[in-house]
Structure formats: C-alpha cells, structure tokens
Structure 1
Amino acid sequence: MTTAVNTGGLTLDGVGKRFGRGTAAVTVLDDVAFDVPEGEFVAVVGPSGSGKTTLLNTVAGFVDPDVGQILVNGTPVTGPGPSRCVVFQEYAIFPWLTVRRNIEFGMRLRARRRPAAERRRIADRYLDLMGLTAFADALPKTLSGGMRQRVALARAYAVDPEILLMDEPFAALDAQTRETMQEALLEINQKERRTVLFVTHQVEEAIFLADRVVVMSARPARVQEIVPVPWRGPRHHELKTTPEFIELRRRIEAMLRGGHPTPEGQTA
C-alpha cells in the first residue's frame, strides 16, 4: 500500500473501492494516495468513467472505502460531516428560498448554527464577493445557470468548511459562462483561501484553477502522476493561450490517452 504523508488538510492513504460481489465485482479505486495541504487547490482529472466522482464521494463520506483511509487534519473520515462541503454539478440550491436564504441555509443547521445577525453579516459578505447583492431577494428560477452556481459557491464558502469538494461544478454551463465562473472561483478563493479538491474532465480547467493536478489512470483508478502548476498569483484567461500552458495541457492529455511524457515533454 502506498502511504501519503499527512501534512494537515486532506490525506488519502491507500484508498481502494470495489462495487459488486464475486465475478461481477468491479474495482473502481486502487491504492489511491495523495495529500492536499491546508489552503491548497488540487484538481483531479482522469478518463471518463475512471472513478473521479467515486473518489470525491469517499472524501465527502458518502461512500466508505474498502481499504485505506481518508484524513481531514489528521482525523479519519467516517461519514459526512461539517468539516467538508460539496458543490455539485447541478445547482443544488433550494428553489423556494431566496438567494440570501440559500446562502444562510447551512449556517442555520445545528452543526454550524450561527446567530441571525452573524448569518446576515456573513451572507452579505458573500453576496458582495460573488456579485449577487442585487439579487439577494430573488428566487433561483429568475437567475441564469451561472448565477445559480454563484449562489451554490457562496453557500459553500459561507459555512467555512475545512475542505471544499467540487464535483465538476461548471460542467452544465456554456463555454463563456464557464470561463466567467472559473475566474469568479479564482477570485473568491484568493480572498477566502480554502483547501479545495476539484474534480473535472477538462484538463484546461484543471491547470487554470489548481496549484497541482492529480492525473488518474483508467479504471481501476490509480494516481499516474501529480503535476505541479507553475503559475502563482492572479490568473487571467490569456494564460490559456501561452506556449507554456498549451505544452502542460498537451502533456497531461497525453497521460490520459495512455502516453508517457518524458522529462522534456515528448510523449513516448
């Protein structure tokens, strides 16, 4: 079993998961080990059907691993809990609540309950950060897809989790809105730094958003390589057109197709 070093934040230590029994059993995750230090943004990419969402669900505590363990700041994950908050692909906001009340919702729950005045102050902050102040009293049905996902992000940040888990949160958006939401996520995370595990099928998105990219193999999913992203500080979409960005994207895409890039970036 491969062992990840626990540095605080999130640690996956030799995680394995199988579904089914006997000859029908399918191994989805096999000895997955990596860590996400506190405050780091790590993206996970892999071939379609490789188990990326299963991996995220084990971290969330929705699915128990068969072997290995998951730690949040050194504490084993044994189920869902307030230390982690999930942002889903679909807009998991309540259609009968206003934008403000959606953002406040998590802060009303027993595990995270805050006084009314504090809830309002925190909601006001995230309404402002996400450009939603003018829509505070609107219902979700009156908002675009991008605006609804802004609400979901604001609600996730507002409950102040130790780990933010994002399962392809922009996949349902059109290309232009997706780019806008990527920049919005970068902006809010620079101001409100959180530990983030972000699953996506888009290599370009992973590189643009993350500090490191975990490249998974086809099923059964293993960690092929963990690729550091060299850019720090504010990022803008012009970065995606630079030769360095294009080369890094090409190398990771080659890994996903089954190639093995050499140190010079040439695919063997």
Structure 2
Amino acid sequence: MNEVLVLDSLSKQFIEGDSVCRAIDSVSLTIRKKEIVCLMGPSGCGKSTVLRIISRLENADSGQVLGSDGLYSERLRSAMVFQDHGLFPWLSVRENISYGLNMKVRFSSKEQVNKKVSELLTLVRMEEFANSLPHHLSGGMKQRVAVARALAVEPEILLMDEPFSALDTFTRRELQDEVLRIRNQLNTTFFIVTHNPEEAVYLADRIVILTQRPAVVRKEIPVTFEFPRNMADPSVIALVQDVTRLVASGQ
C-alpha cells in the first residue's frame, strides 16, 4: 500500500450557545507516500479543522482518519507546523528541536539525541544558530526551526497550516524550496493548508479545493509540471488562474 493517510467521510460541527456551525461535511481524501498535497478553499471553510482532526487536536463528529495500515489515526505519526512557529522563547534553537525528540525517545542516550539534533540543524541549515534564542532569529529562521522540531519525531506526514503566510515574498520562496528539498532528501509526505494559489502550484503534486461551509471536496487537481517549476510558463500561469477562480467561487 502506498497510502500514508486516508480521510473517510470526516464531518465536524461547532456549537456555541444556540448557534451551530457546520464546518466540514463528509470530507474524503487519500494522501500517498512522498506526495505534497495542498489544501485550499475560501477563508473559514474548515481547512485548519481538517488538519486539527488529523493531528488529534480536534475530534471528528463522524468519519475516520486512517493511517497506512488502515487503522485509526492514533497509530499515525504526524507532526504539525503552524503559521506561528510556536517556539519556546526561553529555549535555544537546539533545545527547541530536542524538546520533541526527548518526548518521543525519552530513554535514548544524550549522545543519540544530540546526534539527531545536529543532523536536523544541518538539514534546515541552522547549524551556526544552534545556541541562539528565538528572539534573535528572523521569521524565516524561526520557521526552519519549527520544521526541524516537527521532523524530529520522524512523522509519516508533516502537516503545515499556512506556514509561510507571514513571511516576505523572498523568504517564502526560499522556504518553499526547502520543503521540496526535504521531501526529496527524507521522502517526507506533506499536507499543507495555504491561501496562496501560486504557492500551491509551485509546491503541490495535487491541489485539493474545498467549498464554502459546510465544506466538501469540490475538486482535486493533479499538478504534473516538472520540478523546478517555472512560474512564468503560460501553462503554469493558467493553472494558477484556474485555481484562483475555483477557490474564489466557493461553490
């Protein structure tokens, strides 16, 4: 089996007082090993809710999240990178990365943990900042550390919720390229929520578009352009425009 994640008819609603908000309705999706899948849809349609259910930060009202073994998601190894990096401000870069690693392999030797953290620092090109505190880092550097911390637990799938939206254009492209490099180097599977059609077309093997609430899967679009992608290519520009129209219509 090549599936890393299967979403089977996920539904979720939120109740506040007498108000009921139906967020997602029977969302089904399969993500395969080493894929980069971008999830798009109108603002507030439930994209982040899907990620939170996968990562077990929310419970679905109905439906299932299945891992590669076809069993419930408690056995799925996932990690999340948020829009806000969420680093511990009192810990150094090295300590932030090792925090998740210590939680996962609490009985490993200190030498094993240090070796793994050093490998991750090299992977995200942050070796010279290993002892720096987060407030000394740029926004892009903080997100690199957040990615390394998530990768420390060796996830089957890395979930990313608008991870680059707060960054400037040049830093965003740099980190998008890092995602592609890490995918190729580690065979990592990515599931990324984004509002940016260009980002989705630049990164994704497949773009999944949700409708307005209650969200259902409107369309899955395979992106078959070879990497690295030329965003000035007329065919690429046309796909960006098509994705923009589909998301904007919300239907």
Above 0.5 in TM-score? yes
Which residue of structure 1 lines up, in the alignment, with residue 59 of structure 2? Answer: 64
1:29 aligns with 2:24: yes
Q: Which one of the candidate residues 203, 211, 222 is aligned to 1:217?
A: 211
Structure 1 runs not aligned, ≥5 long: 1-5, 261-268
Identify the residue that residue 93 of structure 2 maps to in structure 1. Answer: 99
**Does the 8 A contact of 2:3 with 2:33 survive in 1?**
yes
Does residue 43 of structure 1 match 2:34? Answer: no
CA contact (8 A) 1:28 1:51 kept: yes
Q: Where does residue 11 of structure 1 map in the other structure?
A: 6
User: Match of 1:50, SS?
Assistant: coil
CA RMSD in angstroms, aligned pairs only = 1.9
Over 3 Å counting, the alpha-carbon distance change for 1:31 and 1:116 in structure 2 is same
CA deviation string 1:29-81 (max 9, x = no partner): 01100110122111100011111111111111111111111112222125xx7
Tell me how far apart the structure 2 counterparts of residues 196 and 38 of structure 1 sit (CA, whole Å): 9
Unaligned stretches of 5+ residues in structure 2: none
Distance (Å, rounded) in 2 between the aligned partners of 1:21 and 1:66: 15
Corresponding residue of 1:186: 180
Distance in 2 separating the partners of 1:161 and 1:13: 21
Using the alignment, how far apart are the partners of 2:76 and 2:111 within structure 1? Answer: 21
Does the alignment pair 1:75 with 2:71? yes
Residues 21/138 of structure 1: CA separation in 2 closer, same or farther (3 Å cut): closer
**8 Å contact 2:37–2:190 — kept in the other structure?**
yes
Q: Deviations over 1:210-246 (max 9, x none)?
A: 11110111111110111101024x425xx11111111
1:13-34 C-alpha deviation (Å, 9 max, x unpaired): 0111111179621211011001
Amino acid at match of 1:144: S
Q: Report the residue type matching 1:75 in the other structure.
A: L
Quote the residue 2:198 is aligned against. 204
The Cα of 1:171 is off from its aligned counterpart by 1.3
Whole-angstrom CA distance in 2 between matches of 1:148 and 1:27:
34
Letter in 1 for 2:231: K
How far did 1:82 drift? 7.1
The answer on 1:250 being equivalent to 2:241 is yes
Residue 117, structure 1, aligned to residue 111, structure 2? yes
Q: Please give the alpha-carbon distance, in whole angstroms, between the structure 2 residues aligned to 1:176 and 1:149.
A: 14
Match of 1:151 among 139, 145, 149: 145
Kept in 1, the 8 Å contact 2:118–2:127? The answer is: yes
Maintained 8 Å contact 1:7/1:35: no
Residue 136 of structure 1 and its aligned partner are, at CA, apart by 0.9
- State the match for 2:228 in structure 1: 235
TM score, norm. by length of structure 1 = 0.87
Q: Is 1:85 the counterpart of 2:76 in the alignment?
A: no
Structure 2 Cα separation of the partners of residues 257 and 90 of structure 1: 25
Higher relative contact order (CA 8 A, sep 6+): 2
1:164 maps to what in 2?
Answer: 158
With normalisation by structure 2, the TM-score equals 0.93
